[in-house]
Structure 1
Amino acid sequence: MSERQRATPTIQDVADLAGVSRAVASRALSAEKRPVSPDKRERVLKAAQELGFRINLLAQSLTTKTVNLIAVVVNHIHDLSDLDLFDLLLAETQAIGKQVILIRVGSNDRAEEFLRQGIAYHVDAALVFSDFADAVTVRQMFRSDLVVMLNGRHDRQSPAVIADEAQGIGEAVADAAGKGVATAGLVTGRASSLVEQARVTSYRQAFERHGIKLVNSVQGDYSYSSGHDAAKSFAGSDCPDAVFCTSDAMAMGILDACRADFPGNRPRRFRLYGFDNLSLLDFDAYPIASIGYDKLAYVRHVMRFLSTPDAFTPGQKPTAIPTRFISRSTAG
């Protein structure tokens, strides 16, 4: 083994062996897309492998002022819709050379505790799903201006991506009205969420527009168990013609609790509608009519703000992703 191989290799050793400048070697080994010819990149990578060179992320962060980490701030991860979305989010984040750390807030008190105790993480940006965190608080938590708000609590200084839920909700309610639905039940999620408040408002407006009377509203928390518990509210003879849930997980709970009312997955006493268009709904067990949006398009809009922060202008309106209704057998 040579002296070069025995010593801890440096970026200069890699550059010398590859026959390029130190700057070119650094660009070739960067996780970010930086200009370097394919031939030089291949030589640098081969040299790094031969020398056993490993990038010193701490030293790199001191030079570039970045750590290639993105904080994702959530309340919790127990809603099934989180799984579909976060798998895409992780893949697209890694595709731009960054990694994710998850921070579970859980409650408004917890968000205030983070701020009060000065808890902060050195990250390049934050993506905020938690409805307990506003844009100002998150910017203070991370001491960063690059905060993408996904919870409806954005301000003029933060980019935001939202789903245009009114469109899909309107289509779902129109579908029910076209099938003779005159009364409806609504199973809702967390009342503190601005996104949920807007969602419920959209349902109420669509019911009114189509002459459907809302006769029963039940508070859930987006989870399967809360939907299963809510099913008892629709067990009597005064059951509405249709039940709309603001998450698919709650609709799945209702379907399982009321399987006798869906022989062959077709509605006998009431029609059932969910929200999120989970991938699970494409299987035979849960053919629930739902409302969804293109999650990949949503995530890529988020990535655009991360990779090109200049794409956002203060005061810019949120980027809206359209939703649509997907009919399945529980709607009849």
Structure 2
Amino acid sequence: MSTITDVAEEAGVSRSTVSRVLSGSDAPIKPATREKVLEVVAKLGFRPNAVARSLSGKRTYTVGVLVSDIGNPFYADVIKGVEDAGLPEGYNLFLGNTNFDLERGTTLIHSLIDRRVDGVIILFSRTSKEWLTTLAGHNIPVTVVDPDASLPTLESVSIKVDFRPGIRAAVEHLVGLGHWRFAHVSGPLDLQTSRHRRDVFLEELAARGIKPSHIQCEEGDFHIEGGREAARRLFDRKTWPTAIFTANDLMALGVLGEAHARDLRVPQDLSVIGLDDIWPAAHSTPPLSTVAMPRYQIGFQAMSRLMKHLKEAKPKRKSSQEISLATQLVIRESTAPPRR
């Protein structure tokens, strides 16, 4: 295996010059020298030792990523975006699954601190103030996706998801088809993001003259079975809706399953719209209409903004930045005019 000394000798430069070229340092280096070093690196097949680089540069080139539920396909595209932004810059990921458990998340946060990660990306609806305070105390920058409004303003970046454009389009689509009896299956209502999705849906219905008495709400748990149980409660009533909007696609798949078990045809007897646009949505029976989240962009932007902060040798001041990404409606085959 070639060493940094071999590269330096072959290129006729110092080891520190090789190190500056490979680290992308802002130190002044002649273009010809930089090109020569990179040629020798390629020729010798030199690969920098990650451990040595972390010790010398006081960085580990690792980022911790906490997710709510690793079983949800939503996170596959998000993590792909994180990796695509980080790998070209030499960053690797430590992935932690909180399983919607704050205590488990706290344990993972301390584990990431012990591993000396350079930054943390939090994709968890129950983000704790304690987590952010603890990470800030260790000077570890954070990117939080869809944060709770009650969280403190620390040195961090937040990726906000604007649900209104997609939900508004979903409501316009259903009302335009002629629906007037609606239901919403929410996520756990102790989560700010669940309440927000529900409230936007209700506001958009009210803006189109739909009476509150024509709207039913049931609480789910963001899982398929939770959606199915909510659908059971809706279908057991004397009057059930002709259109259901769920707070994520997994619960929508549960609604489709319960509808099938009761011989209800979708979309002839019941229209269903989910939220997320996970890959199974396009392959369900029928293919599911859904409010699409910009999953890949969420991950890519979260990592890009975090790395931008890490590259600032001396941040000008502690601040909080917010980036907003919009949702949009994807119409497939699970919606149709209500049966007369």
Partner-residue secondary structure (3-state), 1:303? helix
Instruction: Spell out the pairing of 1:121-132 with structure 2 (5 A cutoff).
Output: 121-132=115-126
Identity fraction in percent? 22
Of 207-216 and 272-281, more deviation after overlay is shown by 207-216
1:62 aligns with 2:55: yes
- State the Cα deviation string for residues 145-172 of structure 1 (Å, max 9, x = none): 4111114135322210011001211111
- State the Cα deviation string for residues 149-202 of structure 1 (Å, max 9, x = none): 114135322210011001211111121111222121111112232222211211
- State the Cα deviation string for residues 308-327 of structure 1 (Å, max 9, x = none): 11699755552111111111
Aligned to 1:134: 128
Aligned to 1:321: 325
- State the Cα deviation string for residues 254-304 of structure 1 (Å, max 9, x = none): 113323423xxx512221010011233334645111111333333332233
The match for 1:149 among 139, 144, 151 is 144
Is the Cα–Cα contact under 8 Å of residues 69 and 125 in structure 1 kept in the other structure?
A: yes
1:285/1:95 Cα in 2 relative to 1: closer, same or farther (>3 Å)? farther
Q: How many residues align?
A: 318
Aligned to 1:331: 335
Q: CA RMSD in A?
A: 3.0
Aligned to 1:228: 228
Normalising by structure 2, we get a TM-score of 0.82
1:88 Cα deviation after fit:
2.6
Of 119-128 and 298-307, more deviation after overlay is shown by 298-307
1:112 Cα deviation after fit:
4.8
Give, in whole Å, the separation in 2 of the partners of 1:287 and 1:168: 18
1:136 Cα deviation after fit:
5.1
Give, in whole Å, the separation in 1 of the partners of 2:109 and 2:303: 26
Give, in whole Å, the separation in 2 of the partners of 1:136 and 1:145: 14
Normalising by structure 1, we get a TM-score of 0.83
**Structure 2 residues not aligned, in runs of 5+:** none
1:104/1:299 Cα in 2 relative to 1: closer, same or farther (>3 Å)? closer
**Structure 1 residues not aligned, in runs of 5+:** 1-7
Partner-residue secondary structure (3-state), 2:147? coil
Is the Cα–Cα contact under 8 Å of residues 114 and 120 in structure 1 kept in the other structure?
A: no
Instruction: Spell out the pairing of 1:7-156 with structure 2 (5 A cutoff).
Output: 10-30=3-23, 37-47=34-44, 49=45, 54-106=47-99, 107-112=101-106, 120-134=114-128, 137-141=131-135, 143-153=138-148, 154-156=151-153
Letter in 2 for 1:101: F
Larger RCO, structure (CA 8 Å, separation 6 or more): 2
1:138/1:94 Cα in 2 relative to 1: closer, same or farther (>3 Å)? same
